[in-house]
Amino acid sequence: MAKAKSSATVKKKSASDADDASSADISFEQALQELETLVESMESDQAPLDELIENYEKGTRLYDLCQQRLENAQRRVDLIREGAASDKKKLQPFDAESESLERNTQSQANTKTDDGQLF
């Protein structure tokens, strides 16, 4: 009887390992849809406790996957924005008048009188 339980446990672990492998290949949208479906089925109060626990575990994995995909997307957006900002700075036309005004303002701020006060 102990062997039957251990083989059943191995089958469950293998199934969850397969879920992990396949969930890594699904898109954010697919994972989110599957998570929403799981939540709806769990909220129906029709599932037995063991199924609820299995669905909860699967839902946790899907949630983690969605969070990871969102964080990756946010990093990509940040990189794009940084690149766009640095490209914009590089591509700005040179304005000689504003450049000379900026230099004059900086030199005046650095100038001190004999008593240590500005101006």
Condensed to tens digits (0 to 9), the pLDDT of residues 48-62 reads: 999 999 999 999 999
Asked if residues 86 and 92 have their Cβ atoms less than 8 Å apart, the reply is no
- For the chain, the residue count is 119
Looking at residue 45, its pLDDT comes to 82
DSSP 112: -
Domains of the chain from N-terminus onward: 27-90 (1.10.287)
Instruction: Output the pTM of the full model.
Output: 0.54
Which of 8, 116, 95, 21 minimizes the C-alpha distance to 61? 21
Q: Is the per-residue pLDDT at 116 higher than 90?
A: no
- Short-list 49, 54, 42, 51, CA closest to 16: 54
Do the beta carbons of residue 16 and residue 57 sit within 8 Å? yes
CA distances from 104 to 101, 109, 110 (A): 5, 9, 10
